[in-house]
Structures are given as structure tokens and as C-alpha cells.
Structure 1
Amino acid sequence: YAFYGVVFLLSVKADKRSALDDQLRARTLLAGLGAQLDMATFRSRQLRTFMSVRLKSVSASSVNRELSLLGAAINLYNSEMDTQLPNPTKGKLLREPEGRVRWLKPVEAERLIMTARLSLTPYLADFIVLALYTGARRGELLGLTWDRVDFERAFLVLEAEHTKGQKRRCIPLHPRALQALRHLQTLGSGEFVFSDRNGRKVGSLRKSFLNACERADIRNFHIHDLRHTCAAWLVMEGVALVVIRDLLGHQSVKTTEIYAHLDLVCVRQGLSCLDWKGQNLGSV
């Protein structure tokens, strides 16, 4: 069957936020497996060879994304054409290492904010504050418009089309976040919260952010780590993972569980149940 057509059709679905990435993955699959691949005779041995070659140059995570696309393409074809082609990708996903979790201590965060206030980018410090106190993603904040900020009731709205999970989220605003937003009102006149002097949406803060991190002597820290920091602070204060999941917009609590090891409140409560005087403790 037309393997290329099915993979490409799947990769450019209009409602897929990962369409561009999927197109690149489709080309990788076609180059590695062959555009004339006979799916009726495609078996695990061929797939394992492809995976082995790919792992020499990319991570297990990248290979898994490619396998997921291939598996979805086969399932789509079987569904549309009412066939039962074998799907060798089932059960083949590789184990991935735990996601990177880098977060700032409060004193480090304050140092970064103070340094950012000295930046030539006037809205950088406010962006950092909002990211730390809302847990919103970079794109969600840069795409935020004033009509979705409710100062009176102290919350902002992230519409489904602006979020990674394509679900609407309402985020309560911490007093520091409100203060940052009020300051941002004085900087621009555009519809976007983060806009330049001409009212145009800000495209990127990467360079100014990295410069601020360097001046604040904060190493190995990315913009997305501001979101990690928000989650880490909440976990360490004993906030339930399901609450953090909803605030951050995770699809599953399993994603939020990468922060579970920081839940020192529950650990301390558990340790407090131990009899440190040795009473009622059995011998080992």
C-alpha cells in the first residue's frame, strides 16, 4: 500500500500540534525503512534493525516518537481500509530516562529576578515572575492577551487553542503575578501582555534570559525550568499532585509524578511516626 501517503496524511492532520515534527519523523521512517516497503510482510526483525541504526545517533525518546507515528499510521490504514495489516510496533517502545528536573531555590529565583530588572529587555523580569507563579509555558505566556486577564477576580485564562494539551485552563493569580501584570500594562499598548513598543507580540526571550542567568550566576537553567520551579515549590509545600497536574495542564498525573520525590512534607510526616527512642521496634 502507499506507505508514504498514509504516514504523510497522518503527519499533516490539521488538528495536530505536532504536524511539523511528524513530517520530519515521517521522512526519517521513509529513509530508514524504504518508501516501497511492503507492509503486508513487514515484521519485527526489520523494525529492530531500523531501531538499532537510529539509536546510534538519536535518543530512545526520539526513536519512540518515530515508532508511535509508524504505529498510528498502520492503525489508521487498517481502520480506513478495513484491513488487518500486522503492527510490529506494539510493545516495542524503549525505556526512556526520567525527564530533566532543574529548579531554583527561592533565593536563586530572587537573584534572577533582580538581575532581570537590570536587563535592556523591560518585560523580562515580569515574564520570569509570571512563569514562576503560574507554572505556564513560555508559549502560553507570550501568547497571552489582555482580554484573558481578570484583575478583579485575580485569574487568567488559557484557551484550549493556546495550550499544549488543548484544554482550557484558569490559573489563579498570586499577588506577585498580579503585580507583574500591572507593571506590564505600563510597558505596552498592544493586545498581547508581552508586546514591544510598537504593540507587536514578543517573539523570543531566549537571549536576554540566558544573559540574565549568566549575570545571576545561575548555570544549566532554561526558560522551561521556571515551570519546573513552580511545580517543585508546590510539591515541597505539600500540594497534591493532582492539583499541580491541573494547574500545569498535564494530560496525566504520571507526568506530574516526576516531582514526587520533592514531597518532603509527606516524608517528614511519615518519619514522625517512627519511635526514635527505640520503643516498640522489633529486632531485625
Structure 2
Amino acid sequence: MSLYRRSKNGVWWVRFTAPDGRRIRQTTGTVDRTKAQEYHDRLRVELWRVSKLGDKPRRTWQQAVARYLREVAHKAGYEEDNRQTKWLDKYWRDNYLDEITREAVEQVKAAKLSTGVANATCNRMLAVVRAILRKAAYDWEWIDRIPKVRLLPEPKRRIRFITREEAAQLLAVLPKHLAEVVRFSLATGLRKRNVTDLQWSQVDLERRCAWVHPDQAKARKAIAVPLNAEAMLVLRRQQGKHPVYVFCYRKHAPLSCVNGGTWREAVKRVGLADFRWHDLRHTWASWHVQQGTPLHALQELGGWETAEMVRRYAHLAPEHLAEYAEKLAKPRVVDGSGTNLAQAEKRT
């Protein structure tokens, strides 16, 4: 029998032999026998066209998602991609790829925005949609065309960093174990997970360096971490507290949530508006630039993949442009007494 009920929930399944000899057995996703029969008939026609006329088999969104997630499983953004595809399930779970039109994309965009998220959050979802559709069209050749996925405009965000005085105030109100994590973050610029998961096997106190393995780094490239005097002091104080991990709390490690309620309360007490844990990394980079660290060196220190990521901090140290700015002031108009006004200004 081509149609049958497999379970007590009453959902109909199809079972038959395709023209190419494959045994087909899959759910129709419906308890309505008429709709199940329609699904069965359409599937048989599609398989016949693929086998006899050379048509491309129709692939579903779920098939594309499954293959995409397998291919990006090694990437740092896998968890975020997986979360976004799960959110899209309720809209496209049973859709074929050729049914995902520009109108369908606009509908999920509107649905996402209706939850009250910012444009940037919606764009992360749209970026995953675009990546999957492009893979399906250009890499796997499952479909011939894809809709254009337009991202929403995002405001240019300022770099949020704090002064050394503000950092000292924050450290003063944090619990001791959290303060040590913050001190180390400000001294090394490492991302939160790279600090909380840091193991003693990744630290060489004699050579004053640490390292982040490629599978732990966002760009999937190893990061060498030179340890300055502040970082060394923190590590010395942490010795003997845990046999494996550098940072712990009452022998528990790794630290699972350093940016929870305790962190937020401390930030609020000090009066640091709109300051997140990741802004510690922005602060470290900003301090470096203000102290004259070249951008190419900062890129290597921070493990950024592209120079564009580091250029965000360039405006914090415009001193290297002062010479060029001064050139505009040199050819000043000479007054009636023959005095160069620019030179006169310097003398006064």
C-alpha cells in the first residue's frame, strides 16, 4: 500500500519504489488522507520527471539546513547559525527551496522585527538565510535561482570603552574572583570564553606568554598572547587554586557565567551606561591605540582576521596625522609688515 498510518498520531506516510529503483518511505506531515494522497501523487510525478526527463530533484529547506550545518560545524559561529535555523523552522520547515521567494523572505523579516529585536539582530538571521540559499544555488546546484536577501540598515555604533579610572572603580566593587578575570581581560584583550576556559597547559610563566588554540579562536587561527606585568600578577595569584583551569570560583571551573547578575549590578553601581563584557576588549584595544601601538601590531595581538576590524580604533590616536594637518597651516597669508602669520602664532 502506498499510503499508510505509521503511528497513533494518525499522520499518513508514503511508501513506494521510485523509477530509479530507490525505496521511498517518508511522512506526508498530515492526518488528512486527501492531502496525504495529493502529497503522494505529486512526489511520484516529481521523481518520475527527475528519472526520465533529467529534472533536478526538489529539495526542501530542511535538507538544505541539515547539509549547511554539517558543512559549518567546525566554524566558530555554528551555535548561532543553528539557533537561527531553529527559529526559521516554524515558517519554512516543510517548504521546498524553490518556494522560498523574495516575498517569503520579507515575511520572515517582518516576523522577526515584530518580536522587538533590533535591525542588527534581524540581519544575523537574514545572513544565515542568504548563506544557505547561496550554498544551495552555487555550491550544491540544487536550485537555479535564489531571491535577493536585503539586509536592514544598521546604525554605526561607537566604540564603547572606559578610562583607567573607571576600570579601577569597577574592579573595586566586583567580587575578588570576577575582578581577577576582568584584570586579565583588560591586560590581554582576550574574548570572554578564551579567558574563562584558559587552562594552565596554555600558559608559560617563564616565557611570559600564553596561547589560544585555533579551535578556540573566533577566526580559527592560533593566537599568541604576550603577558604583561599586570597579567603576570593575576596568574601568580591564581596559582594553586585549580589544577586545570586558571580561573575558578570555590574550586568550580570553568566559570560558566561571568557576565550575569553580579557583573550587571557592579556596572550599574559604578554608573557605566551601556557597558557590556565584550567592551572590556574594546577598552583594551582603545588603550593600546592611545598609547601608540601600531594598528598592524594590534591586529596580531587581538587575533583579528582583517585589518578592517582594527581600523575601528584608529580615530583614537590621530597624532600620526598631525604633521599632515599642519601642512595646511604653513602657507599662511603674510601681513603688511611681512610677517608670516603662522610663524607668529607659534612664537606667541
Give the TM-score, by structure 2 length: 0.69
Q: Structure 2: give runs of 5+ residues left out of the alignment.
A: 1-58, 335-339, 341-348
Structure 1 runs (4+) greater than 4 angstroms displaced:
none
Shift of 1:192: 0.4
1:266 matched to which residue of 2?
320
Paired with 1:80 and 1:278, the residues of 2 have a C-alpha distance of 61
SS in 2 for 1:261: helix
- The match for 1:89 among 139, 148, 151 is 148
Aligned residue pair count: 274
Shift of 1:199: 5.4
Shift of 1:95: 3.1
Q: Does 1:64 align with 2:123?
A: yes
Shift of 1:167: 1.2
Q: Does 1:189 align with 2:189?
A: no
Shift of 1:135: 0.5
Partners of 1:8 and 1:26 within 8 A in 2: no
Q: Structure 1: give runs of 5+ residues left out of the alignment.
A: none
Q: Does 1:18 align with 2:77?
A: yes
Q: Deviations over 1:223-264 (max 9, x none)?
A: 211111001111222322232222222222222222222223
Instruction: Give the 3 Å change call, closer, same or farther, for CA 273–248 of structure 1 in structure 2.
Output: same
* Matched-pair identity in %: 24
Q: Deviations over 1:6-32 (max 9, x none)?
A: 113323543133333223322333434
154-163 or 235-244, larger mean C-alpha shift: 235-244
Q: Does 1:146 align with 2:146?
A: no
1:104 matched to which residue of 2?
162
Paired with 1:55 and 1:246, the residues of 2 have a C-alpha distance of 37
Paired with 2:253 and 2:109, the residues of 1 have a C-alpha distance of 45
SS in 2 for 1:61: helix
- The match for 2:136 among 55, 73, 77 is 77
Instruction: Give the 3 Å change call, closer, same or farther, for CA 38–215 of structure 1 in structure 2.
Output: closer
2:86 matched to which residue of 1?
27
Cα RMSD after superposing both structures:
2.7
Q: Deviations over 1:100-157 (max 9, x none)?
A: 52111112122223333xx3xx322221111111110111001101121111121110
134-143 or 3-12, larger mean C-alpha shift: 3-12
124-133 or 7-16, larger mean C-alpha shift: 7-16
Partners of 2:76 and 2:219 within 8 A in 1: no
One-letter code of the match for 2:293? V
Paired with 1:271 and 1:145, the residues of 2 have a C-alpha distance of 48
SS in 1 for 2:225: strand
One-letter code of the match for 1:27? K
- The match for 1:209 among 235, 239, 263 is 263
Partners of 2:137 and 2:146 within 8 A in 1: no
Q: Does 1 or 2 have the higher relative contact order (CA < 8 Å, sep 6+)?
A: 1
Instruction: Give the 3 Å change call, closer, same or farther, for CA 61–3 of structure 1 in structure 2.
Output: same
1:125 matched to which residue of 2?
179
Paired with 1:254 and 1:111, the residues of 2 have a C-alpha distance of 32
